[in-house]
Amino acid sequence: MQTLKNSMMTRTNEVSKKVQSALEHEVKRLKALLKISDYLGSTLDLDELLYRIMEVTREQLNADRCTVFLIDQERQELWSKVAMGVNQEIRFPMKKGIAGHVARTGEILNIRDAYADPRFNPEVDKKTGYRTRNLLTMPMHNKQNEIIGVFQVLNKKQGSFTEGDVELLKAIASIAATAVENASLYDELNRSFVSFMETLSTTLDARDYITSGHSRRVTLYAVQVARLMRLSKREIELIRYAALLHDIGKLGIPEIVLFKNKKLSDEEYNIIKRHAVLSKSILAKIRFQRHLKEIPQIAAAHHEKIDGTGYPQGLKGDEIPLGGKILAVCDVFDALTSRRQYKDRMDILEVMDILEKETGKSFEPFVVYHFKNITLNVLIEILEFGHKEDFKAEDLNLLRNYTLKDLLRIRKQGAKSDEEFRVAEIFMYYYQRKYRGE
Amino acid sequence: MQTLKNSMMTRTNEVSKKVQSALEHEVKRLKALLKISDYLGSTLDLDELLYRIMEVTREQLNADRCTVFLIDQERQELWSKVAMGVNQEIRFPMKKGIAGHVARTGEILNIRDAYADPRFNPEVDKKTGYRTRNLLTMPMHNKQNEIIGVFQVLNKKQGSFTEGDVELLKAIASIAATAVENASLYDELNRSFVSFMETLSTTLDARDYITSGHSRRVTLYAVQVARLMRLSKREIELIRYAALLHDIGKLGIPEIVLFKNKKLSDEEYNIIKRHAVLSKSILAKIRFQRHLKEIPQIAAAHHEKIDGTGYPQGLKGDEIPLGGKILAVCDVFDALTSRRQYKDRMDILEVMDILEKETGKSFEPFVVYHFKNITLNVLIEILEFGHKEDFKAEDLNLLRNYTLKDLLRIRKQGAKSDEEFRVAEIFMYYYQRKYRGE
């Protein structure tokens, strides 16, 4: 009797211990999910968010790799940032592969032996040298229960993915979906704002054939220089918008003066010079976000010169904001290399001679230094912006390995190899070519 | 001996039961927090979010009321949406009251007897007739540990707020802070976009004194009509932006024609008419968010007439988007009521006669119906946009109770009371007044 009672009590104890341990496990799991929710919820930057989601999932599921694909409904594609590379993106049609299958059907696929499953496509492994053992692929639903993306988790560190892993990933996917929706909304709004600025600046420039495309090209040059200077994402954004809008003040200059074909009188020239100040006063009325507050100052400074002889303020050296110094170089480069009606472009050597002569007077030397480090494929794509379809991919690939500085050396001192000869030839072909109707 | 052993086992059981119940409680708490995190995280609309935070907090803390104040750093004020009213906002200096104290110091104040505490200000209770018994006030910190707002929870349903309540509110505040930061970032970006559109449309209109302020006023009228029609927030946003940008196509019309003072030739008039189509083609290049995709169509339709005699497409009746029908009425009303140099405004009776005659031909009758329901205080503030400082508050208060329709009746059939007489007199004073230098 006694023994029975004891053994019953022990059993009760064991049961309650099991319950307790299950509860402790649940507390741990919920705490982890709360932490994940906080971590994923605290960025609206889509790139950063995708990176965080992949990192967290890999860790929580004790897996070797994780990729999150988002659905691009318009193009019916899946796309993802590859965590390893910088700004690398992979894209493929939704019809393809296991991820595509899950994106279309909403099924959860837990494949314990990849190579034994006919749905698995070993091509990627072949290309990358990676060996996929097992993989868990799961859809991500938004609040309206639409599939917005796919999780793919590869190679559980020990064994294969369990039912517990599936449940955990479901919870993570639900948290991630909310964060992705928010970041996408922010991204969409930002893109619409940027496309607005781009459209406006294109429309303004297009009023006159001489300035057509000018602000867009200046922006592309300026962003390149800013990248080569290794400025931060936010600084590049600032310079980008200031470049797009630097000539917005021309809205306040009468067209009869602005588009005059003949030589301007001093008075007329003074009227035109007012556009820099007008850019500032127009842009100052816009309630830009905190990190973009300097846009009016930068835009207004695109005609300042470091020796203090520029306008509107005659600022000297570091009184000019960095963005203004970058704009000054890009603005003049674009003006000098523009096609004029009935006229070819000025030779690039002549353009750079003018730029070099002004370096240290008009232009900040380190800006010109970085400008000359723009690679030739990028340079020609900007020079010929709007004619992208006319480039041969092989030509761009060759130009990719040479900079403007290299080109100047080749042109001045002669080619050291057949490739260098080809490079100069190809660049000059695109630089000088004509279009029908021009 | 036996009894001792039994009693020990019972005690062990009791302890483990307590542990188990504590764990169960913790699981419940964490699940609730996860749910809150999901609920708060899934909106970027700041108004909606504040409402959700207050609702959730009130429920979770079993309290009668909850208000969340956000800090406006620029103005050093606390502000909040009052949950009861529509779009109502309260604001007060950060120096004032318990909420201000918490916002400045970061202290948590759990006041068990409001009227016994000298820091409590009974003024609000006196005004509202509410009786505050106890209140818990807590700061909300962002990830950089800056105070961004304050929670104030009033009247625990039973007893006063416990330590458990304080802990729970801390957890909610942390979740809420992330959501508030996201919604604020979205809000800031959206405001900067809107202020960009406003600045652009103001700048475009200001190129000529005749159109100065036109798009801004048309936008204000259109938003009023849309509100009176009880359109959704998103539809109002759509109409607002289309109104701001309806004349953007004028950028493509040479100024020499656009701003011609003398009578236009047929050819010149046809050139000017192109602005509607140009608005469409410019706006179509912008990647607006999904719910704003109709902006180009609406903007292009502001000269369409419901009998099909308008331009550019000659659309009839419901072929014209609702936003286009609203713009058409507001556009003409603004043109007719604009001050011209050396000329007073046209009498409002004459303006409305013209509008009425075109109702059913140019204009959709129910749009004109709603237009006439705009209250006179709003109407005169739009007509005199840019001269807000010159209004007497008491005048606006009186005008608030009468609509444009009332005014027309009073002017045509005579005033039925002294107040009606005053109303017409005040409105006409502002409508006809002149400014120095004009």
Q: Measured between CB atoms, does B255 come within 8 Å of chain A?
A: yes
Per-residue pLDDT tens over the stretch B319-377? 999 999 999 999 999 999 988 766 788 999 999 999 999 999 999 999 999 999 999 99
Residue of B nearest to A5 (CA): B6
Cβ-proximal residues to A269 (8 Å cutoff; 6+ apart), any chain: none
In this structure, the answer to whether residues A179 and A276 fall within a common structural domain is no
Q: How many residue contacts between A and B have a Cβ separation below 8 Å?
A: 146
Q: Does B7 fall in a domain?
A: no
Residue A156 placed within a domain: yes
Count of C-beta atoms within a 10 Å radius of residue A346:
16
In the predicted model, what is the mean pLDDT of residues B272-288?
96
Q: Is residue B222 part of a domain?
A: yes
Contact A38 B288 (CB under 8 A): no
Whether pLDDT at A224 is above 70 = yes
- Residues A260, A392, single domain; the answer is yes
Mark yes or no for CB contact A207/B251 under 8 Å.
yes
Please report the pLDDT score of residue B84 as a whole number. Answer: 47
Distance from CA of B202 to the nearest CA of A (A): 10
The β-bridge relationship of strands B109-111 and B135-141 is antiparallel
Q: Answer whether residue B437 shows pLDDT above 80.
A: no
Q: Is A5 part of any domain?
A: no
> What number is the average pLDDT over the span B276-305?
96
Q: Are residues A352 and A428 in the same domain?
A: yes
- Clarify whether residues B147 and B221 are in a common domain: no
Q: Residue B351 maps to which CATH number?
A: 1.10.3210.10
Domain boundary among B139, B161, B185: B185
Let me know if residue B437 belongs to a domain: no
Over residues A356-362, mean pLDDT: 97
In a domain, residue B5? The reply is no
Assigned domain for B2 exists: no
User: What DSSP letter does each residue of A125-178 carry, written as one string?
Assistant: HHHH------EEEEEEE-TT--EEEEEEEEEESSS---HHHHHHHHHHHHHHHH
pTM: 0.90
Chain B: give the shortest CA distance to residue A159, in Å.
29
Write the CB contacts of B17 (distance below 8 Å, at least 6 apart in sequence). Answer: A16
* pLDDT greater than 90 at residue A123: no
- Do the chains contact at B196 and A196, CB–CB below 8 Å? yes
Angle at B253 between CA B252 and CA B257, to 5 degrees: 165
Domain that residue A380 falls in: 187-432
User: A137 and A243 share a domain?
Assistant: no
For A72, the enclosing helix (H) or strand (E) is strand A63-72
Asked if pLDDT for residue B125 goes beyond 70, the answer is yes
- Mean pLDDT, to the nearest integer, of A238-267? 93
Report B:141-180 residues touching A (Cβ under 8 A): 143, 174-175, 178-179
Cis (ω within 30 of 0) for the bond into B365? no
pLDDT in tens, A44-101: 999 999 999 999 999 999 999 999 999 998 899 999 876 544 456 788 899 888 999 9
Note the pLDDT of residue A189: 96
A42: contact with B, CB 8 A cutoff: yes
B289 touching A, CB under 8 A?
A: yes
Q: What is the pLDDT of residue B87?
A: 57
What does the pLDDT read at residue B438? 45
Q: Are residues B326 and B356 in the same domain?
A: yes
* Domain match, A240 and A300 both: yes
| Cβ pair A12:B13 closer than 8 A | yes
- Looking at the structure of chain B, the number of domains it has is 2
Pair A283, A417 in one domain: yes
Q: Which of B125, B158, B185 is the last residue of a domain?
A: B185
Q: Are residues B381 and B295 in the same domain?
A: yes
Q: Which of A185, A220, A252 is the last residue of a domain?
A: A185
Over the stretch A361-394, which tens digit does the pLDDT of each residue have? 999 999 999 999 999 999 999 999 988 778 899 9
Classify residue B361: in a domain, yes or no. Answer: yes
Is the pLDDT assigned to residue A342 strictly greater than 80?
no
pLDDT given for residue B81 in this prediction: 77
- Both B177 and B233 in one domain: the answer is no
**How many Å lie between the alpha carbon of B53 and the closest alpha carbon of chain A?**
16
Task: Nearest by CB to B289, from A2, A41, A192: name it.
Answer: A192
Tell me the CATH number at B128: 3.30.450.40
Within this chain, do residues B148 and B193 fall inside the same structural domain, yes or no? Answer: no
Local structure of A89: helix, strand or coil: strand
- pLDDT over 70 percentage in chain A: 95
Residue-wise pLDDT for A86-117, tens only, equals: 456 788 899 888 999 999 999 999 999 999 98
Q: Identify whether residues B425 and B325 lie together within a single domain.
A: yes
Instruction: Give the model's pLDDT for residue A124.
Output: 77
User: In angstroms, how far is the first alpha carbon of chain A from the final one?
Assistant: 108
pLDDT for A341 equals: 60
